[in-house]
Amino acid sequence: MKLHSKVFVLFAMALFLASSSNVLAASSALSLKSSLPMLAAAEKKAEEIGVPMVITVLDAGGNMIAQHRMDDALLVSVEISMNKAYSALAVKISTDELGKLSQPGKPLYGIQNVGRMIIFGGGFPIISDGKIIGAIGVSGGSVEQDMECAKAGLAVFK
């Protein structure tokens, strides 16, 4: 067998294995398709309360799947929404809970000084079958408004 034929066979086998493992993992993994309804629901809530937001969804590895910046949303909210999602994913709890645990005298005091950690509300892990498969982060309004919009996004996740 010639070298290019061997390479093609190896490539075909790798493609087959990758696609078959994706079929098994698809039910528990986030995708762009499963993220878009979350973005839409969070945006709808933001429109209802009259506050432009930035909504970010990350996969289990912390990679961005989708980010949506509504017209007139604060530019700083792009980074904050991503870091809220990252923080919720990294510590496996919502950022509002992280905020409570990181106050002086609490067990996670000082964690806000580590990298991209955000310790105020608006970031939530996305859980499927008891497993964290990603996170959503919302920024643009008050902490309460950000949390409300993020929860609206989570509510439509299937």
Residue 29 has pLDDT above 70, yes or no: yes
Beta carbons within 8 Å of 24's beta carbon, 6+ residues apart: none
Higher local confidence (pLDDT), 157 or 74: 74
Can you list the positions of beta strands (E) in 2-130?
54-59, 64-69, 123-128
For range 41-48, the mean pLDDT:
98
Q: How far apart are CA 57 and CA 52, in angstroms?
A: 17
Report CA-CA distances (Å) from 100 to 89, 97, 118, 140: 17, 5, 12, 21
For range 47-54, the mean pLDDT:
98
Residue 19 has pLDDT above 60, yes or no: no
Token pair recorded at residue 24: 């098994």
Q: How far apart are CA 12 and CA 105, in angstroms?
A: 57
Out of 7-16, 22-31, 84-93, 149-158, pick the least confident: 7-16
Cα of 116 vs its chain's centroid, Å: 14
- Whole-model pTM: value is 0.81
Helix locations, 26-74, DSSP H: 32-49
Q: Letter for the amino acid at 122?
A: G
Q: How far apart are CA 57 and CA 69, in angstroms?
A: 12
Per-residue pLDDT at 28: 65
For range 21-37, the mean pLDDT:
70
- Considering only CA atoms, give the Rg of the chain: 19
Token pair recorded at residue 75: 């530019």
Give 79-137 pLDDT, tens digit per residue. Answer: 999 999 999 999 999 999 999 999 999 999 999 999 999 999 999 999 999 999 999 99
Residue 2 has pLDDT above 60, yes or no: no
pLDDT band for 11, please (50, 70, 90 cuts). very low
For range 25-38, the mean pLDDT:
81
Higher local confidence (pLDDT), 42 or 26: 42
Residue 24 has pLDDT above 90, yes or no: no
